[in-house]
Structure 1
């Protein structure tokens, strides 16, 4: 499908958040996917990923995940300076603030005439965690989480007992977890911890582990695996076609 995109600024309890909306040019209403970025916000690879998903018949919404901490439109570089700033932002913004961002997006986009009112979440790296976290909201019918960081380690600030790992039992929608076995950010022990929590809480989930490095989806840099990325896009499209009941 041919797509279009535009920026939409929405109000949240912690300030104005810019979202970029990718959606089919065709008339009609489509299910929505919140696509949460890595710590660098909406880089060119993130924009291309969102466009790929939108071209399969979805409204894909990319929020600026650190909107409180940066001027609107900020994109961090894939370099040491960008990494340091992104990690500082990650360890500053609370999970509670991410929760209120998700609520604000649902409240805004469920009123738009191009949305069906069905919502899923997807993300990479930090965004994989935020997609998992978004699924605590009962409006999220499916979450596709790619190499999600900080779930097992509880290293993003939050109120005591409000971490994503502890609250896994509250997830009502279906989850797909995707990992690279050569990812240094989520060890084998960390992945096993999350897997066991999903089993123990009897969640509906699918689990994939590939021979891939962290950020294997990112089509810039030396960790990109095009064949693996294509496989994951296909899995994500099929997942949301099913969980969001795309006709």
Structure 2
């Protein structure tokens, strides 16, 4: 599956991104894939290529480009629990500085970039995010509802207290929560908020999972959870975007 790397001009510098897409000279629906806090790396490239193989043009940005090119911190091949807290501590200042205003400004450029690529078909796009990327995906869908047909967030910090943000979304939604992140009671509260927002959604806890379960380069990885993620994500995008 072909990939390309780009430096996209932004309001605050240049964002380093990579894209994966089918090599068939046919336009395909666009997808914006937000990484977790550890950023673009081999596991994200593999996931983007797998999604692209199902008929999508997938764009993965370095969301913290204002602070340097990815990776911003030295990452081992495998992120074990013994090192994860120290890595998160290094990234936390960048997370705190990534305001809602920055998310909105950056998302507009990413969506425009997708729309301008000859390999991307016209029409609405899909957005998917992991961990903090799930929050970014949700915010993007809320700020640009007319441009997004589907949104998925996995082990992301999405809660019922974001009802005003959720109410702006018109896309079909899937939230895949880690069992270690959300209690059944909190899930019921969130789903009541989604009902109140009149969203078309599926919001569920993935059994036996902990935060970060989709990432195969971490101790949190859960193969069954990752497969459930693919089953839900591919079905969502096929319904909302189709494939070319």
TM over 0.5: yes
Q: CA contact under 8 A between 1:124 and 1:148: conserved in structure 2?
A: yes
Partner of 2:31: 33
Q: Distance in 1 between matches of 2:111 and 2:15?
A: 13
Q: Tell me the CA shift for residue 196 of structure 1.
A: 2.1
Superposed CA RMSD: 1.8
Partner of 1:161: none
One of 63, 66, 70 as aligned partner of 1:65: 63
Q: Deviations over 1:94-138 (max 9, x none)?
A: 011011111001112211110013311001110111111111112
Gaps of 5+ in 2: none
Q: CA contact under 8 A between 1:42 and 1:75: conserved in structure 2?
A: no
Of residues 48-57 and 79-88 in structure 1, the stretch that sits farther from structure 2 once superposed is 79-88
Partner of 1:140: 148
Aligned pairs (5 A) from 1:146-225: 146-149=154-157, 151-152=158-159, 164-183=162-181, 186-211=182-207, 212-225=209-222
Partner of 1:131: 137
Q: Distance in 1 between matches of 2:193 and 2:92?
A: 26
Q: Tell me the CA shift for residue 146 of structure 1.
A: 0.5
Counterpart check, 1:237 vs 2:242:
no
The one of the two structures with greater contact order (alpha-carbon pairs below 8 A, sep at least 6) is: 2
Q: Distance in 1 between matches of 2:35 and 2:55?
A: 20
Q: Distance in 1 between matches of 2:115 and 2:58?
A: 13
Q: Distance in 2 between matches of 1:124 and 1:83?
A: 15
One of 86, 105, 117 as aligned partner of 1:112: 117
Q: CA contact under 8 A between 1:119 and 1:140: conserved in structure 2?
A: yes
Q: CA contact under 8 A between 1:132 and 1:143: conserved in structure 2?
A: yes
Partner of 1:160: none
One of 20, 23, 27 as aligned partner of 2:21: 23
Q: TM-score, normalised by structure 2?
A: 0.88
Q: Tell me the CA shift for residue 190 of structure 1.
A: 4.3
Q: CA contact under 8 A between 2:54 and 2:243: conserved in structure 1?
A: no
Q: Deviations over 1:31-81 (max 9, x none)?
A: 11111011111122222211211111111100111111x212334334343
Q: Deviations over 1:189-239 (max 9, x none)?
A: 543443222111111111221211111111123321112211211221121
Q: Deviations over 1:159-207 (max 9, x none)?
A: xxxxx54221110111011112123xx4555434432221111111112
